[in-house]
Structure 1
């Protein structure tokens, strides 16, 4: 019995693709698309400075976590955020929701403004 062909998946959220063409862009890990599906989480075309700011924010979070001598696993347990999500936030490949930023700031005992710059 033959297996059905694999469906193309949106690399942003690993769900079956809605059929929209997804382009690679700088940085290479940022997927850009024009998906209109409400289930697809492919980021819309954003200005380049947003990716730079996102990376800077992730660097600040990583630095503060490292100074507190916390591993990602321990930090994930402290915040209640999935470790894989933290792995996407720190390099800037994911936009953290406001509630996650609040949890991160609370766990690191820093004001939110220190995280967002």
Structure 2
């Protein structure tokens, strides 16, 4: 028997709070009224998508598919996809691995 969504959210919060918030509210960056998190400003997801676009451009310039980049970087293909789509908060470690795999400076991926 699967645990209820509420139980899952409470047990996973310390490991992935953004996923737990999304699971309980359906909205990224927002939580229920008892939580002290505030919604992300609109420029944050926009910058995330811009970084993802630059990663995608560098990947296609190198004639790599997402699976190929993931293999070279040592990441999962879904992680590469979510990063390019700007679908979740980026980890610095993932950005470093991707920049190294694409042989581009990290600054080129995150510049404005």
- With normalisation by structure 1, the TM-score equals 0.70
Residues 1:92 and 2:63 aligned together: no
Task: Provide the aligned length of Structure 1 versus Structure 2.
Answer: 98
Larger strand proportion, structure 1 or 2? 1
Tell me how far 1:22 sits from its aligned partner.
Answer: 1.1
Instruction: Point out 4+ residue stretches in structure 1 off by more than 6 angstroms.
Output: none
Higher helix share: 2
Could you say what the CA RMSD is over the residues aligned between the two structures, in angstroms? 2.8
Unaligned 5+ runs, structure 1? 10-14, 25-30, 38-42
User: What SS does the aligned partner of 2:64 have?
Assistant: coil
Q: CA deviation at 1:5?
A: 7.4
TM-score by length of 2: 0.73
Q: Distance in 2 between matches of 1:102 and 1:81?
A: 11
Within a 5 Å distance, the mapping from 1:2-81 to structure 2 comes to: 7-8=4-5, 16-18=8-10, 21-24=24-27, 31-34=28-31, 45-81=39-75
8 Å CA contact 1:23–1:32 kept in 2: the answer is no
